Amino acid sequence: MRRRLAVLLTTVLLGLAGALLPATGAWAAPADKAQVLSRWTQTSAASYNEWLAADQNQSAWSSYGFDWSTDYCSTSPDNPFGFPFKTACARHDFGYRNYKAAGTFDANKARLDNMLYADLERVCAGYSGATKSSCDATAWTYYHAVDIFGFAPAGVTG
């Protein structure tokens, strides 16, 4: 009798635990995913630096399910005229891909494009004279290209 009671009690307790505990295998992004994404896609140098640190340690952010894929500056040169725009383009791709996945791309596109321009201008700030003017003009061209043509649907290069 004691054994039957123990088996019955164990069965009930295990069933109750299974009903009360969250299902394993069900994946959910952390509740602050949208806030982290927003923090990493602002026009400020602080936002850029925080994103860059995360990009260099992507595994620490794996539970967020971010899309880190990039084609850098798409069909434009990553380092036009020797100006290192590659990382700015990667951050822009990050913003485009993740806001598209979240279904909030349209509401964030203008800021993402402005973020790209701010990042490119930080690159240009390292130059002077005619070289800086050339860099600024190239940055402006890249900005306008994404401003005008950067509406590719989700899953397409951004």
User: Annotated catalytic sites, by residue?
Assistant: 92
54, 55, 67, 76: which is closest to 97 by C-alpha?
67
104, 37, 113: which is closest to 68 by C-alpha?
37
4, 70, 66: which is closest to 33 by C-alpha?
66
Q: At what angle do helices 105-124 and 86-102 cross, to 10 degrees?
A: 170
Q: At what angle do helices 45-55 and 86-102 cross, to 10 degrees?
A: 80
Beta strands, E only, the chain: none
